[in-house]
Amino acid sequence: MTGQRMVVHPALVRDYERLCAAFPRAYRREHEVELLGHLVEAAPAGATRASTAERVDLLRSAAREWLLAPVGSTPRQRRDATRWLLVLVPLVLVPAAVTRLAWVAAVIANGRGMANILASEPAAPAWAVWSVAMLVLLAGGLRTARVLATVAAVMGWVAIGALCVAGHESKAFIEVGWVVGLTFAAVVVAQRAGWERPLGSPVWRRVGVALSVVAAGFVGWSAVSPSLLTTGNSWSVAVLGLPRLTSTSGVSVALIIAALAALVWSRSARQAAPAMVAVVTAVISARADVFGDRVIANGQVSVGHVFAVLALAAVTAAVARWIVNRLDEMALPRELLRTSTT
């Protein structure tokens, strides 16, 4: 094919360019020229429009790339993001999972039934499935963990929907942030499972096993100390005697900002920042009265507030991804200079 000229109709090229414009900007920067070259080379002689199969293929791929944009648009970004998120997302979700499962254990030990549990904590089954997914992941079962994590995320969204339909928008407002976290957990495990390589990192797996043992211990403790149900305190306050520390207190906010800044500072870890920003934003915005007028305290939460949390999380993730992409671009000349001088 080298040196052989191909005559291509300009309308066909414009059609392909319009279809390629559907992909995220970072993906286009990496692949657009290559993609266009492939499409033009593969086009039948005399074609003036992209075929239906090509349109469907490109638009479906573009939709997939947009869904995965928070974890990066290039292989290096996704590899770094997946490695970090596989550790960070579970670290963030474990306290929420332990709290809820500990409550479930205490309720069951107190003789109350599943109906009571589901009425008060409809996302409890999702957390249970997610916990099993993480244990399976630690055991190396990537594909099974992918299925379980996806089921957990879907169950979480079903719970949010059920809460909204049942008129418990306040509860949905508070919980939707954690379900965003469950969704990212499913995406990251699916990404990692798609590598077609078994899990490595024996150090992180040992840490994960240790954390699982500690978490299981707290859940078990709650089952034998059902007085947690009556004190109104969380297990961290009642059992460990820790001071009450909400996610919106000054110390917590400072710690979260410091942690996110540390993430962005590292070239590999910063790829995980957009997803972490989305989860943190979704979890905190409902608790921090971001939408004003003390909507929870005044019982004024509507389904619109739930969607607003999701929109805020999406916007902050997009801004974080833009910042990370710009930092990567600024780092590229230094990296090229370093590799050319070695």
Partner 1 sequence: MASRPLQEPAFLILSALAKGPSHGYGIAKDVEESSGGRITLRAGTLYGAIDRLVTAELVEVDHEEVVDSRLRRYYRLSAEGGLRLAVEARRVETQAREALERLAARNVVAPVIA
Q: Would you count residue 5 as binding partner 1 (CB under 8 A)?
A: yes
Binding residues for partner 1, total number by CB under 8 A: 41
Of the ranges 78-86, 99-107, 276-284, 288-296, which one interacts with partner 1 (CB under 8 A)?
Answer: 78-86
Q: Would you count residue 33 as binding partner 1 (CB under 8 A)?
A: yes
Assess contact for 146 and 134: CB atoms under 8 A: no
Q: Would you count residue 329 as binding partner 1 (CB under 8 A)?
A: no
Q: Would you count residue 42 as binding partner 1 (CB under 8 A)?
A: yes
Indicate the residue among 59 and 255 with the shorter CB distance to partner 1. Answer: 59
Residue 184 structure tokens: 């990212």
Q: Would you count residue 293 as binding partner 1 (CB under 8 A)?
A: no
Of the ranges 71-79, 152-160, 248-256, 321-329, which one interacts with partner 1 (CB under 8 A)?
Answer: 71-79
Please report which residue ranges of the chain form alpha helices under DSSP H.
10-20, 25-42, 52-68, 75-109, 114-120, 124-138, 142-165, 169-193, 202-224, 228-231, 235-238, 250-265, 273-285, 303-341
Residue 338 structure tokens: 């370093």
Indicate the residue among 76 and 294 with the shorter CB distance to partner 1. Answer: 76
Of the ranges 68-76, 98-106, 261-269, 288-296, which one interacts with partner 1 (CB under 8 A)?
Answer: 68-76
From residue 293, alpha-carbon distances to 90, 253, 280, 286, 297 in Å are: 33, 21, 21, 12, 9
Closest CA to 118 of 140, 103, 130: 103
Binding-site member from 96, 137, 142, 296 for partner 1 (CB under 8 A): 142
Of the ranges 61-69, 148-156, 159-167, 212-220, which one interacts with partner 1 (CB under 8 A)?
Answer: 61-69
As measured in angstroms, the least distance from the Cβ of 198 to partner 1 is 5
Q: Would you count residue 196 as binding partner 1 (CB under 8 A)?
A: yes
Closest CA to 35 of 53, 11, 10, 18: 18
Binding-site member from 26, 35, 97, 180 for partner 1 (CB under 8 A): 35
Residue 226 structure tokens: 């059902």
As measured in angstroms, the least distance from the Cβ of 2 to partner 1 is 6
Residue with tokens 């999702």: 126
Q: Would you count residue 78 as binding partner 1 (CB under 8 A)?
A: yes
Indicate the residue among 28 and 168 with the shorter CB distance to partner 1. Answer: 28
Q: Would you count residue 37 as binding partner 1 (CB under 8 A)?
A: yes
Assess contact for 73 and 62: CB atoms under 8 A: no
Tell me how far the alpha carbon of residue 69 is from its chain's centroid. Answer: 11
Closest CA to 23 of 69, 90, 54, 56: 69
Binding-site member from 46, 52, 53, 292 for partner 1 (CB under 8 A): 53
Q: Would you count residue 36 as binding partner 1 (CB under 8 A)?
A: yes
Cα 284 from Cα 288, distance rounded (Å): 6
- Binding interface with partner 1 (CB under 8 A): 1-6, 31, 33-42, 53-54, 57-62, 64-65, 74-76, 78-79, 82, 140, 142-143, 194-198
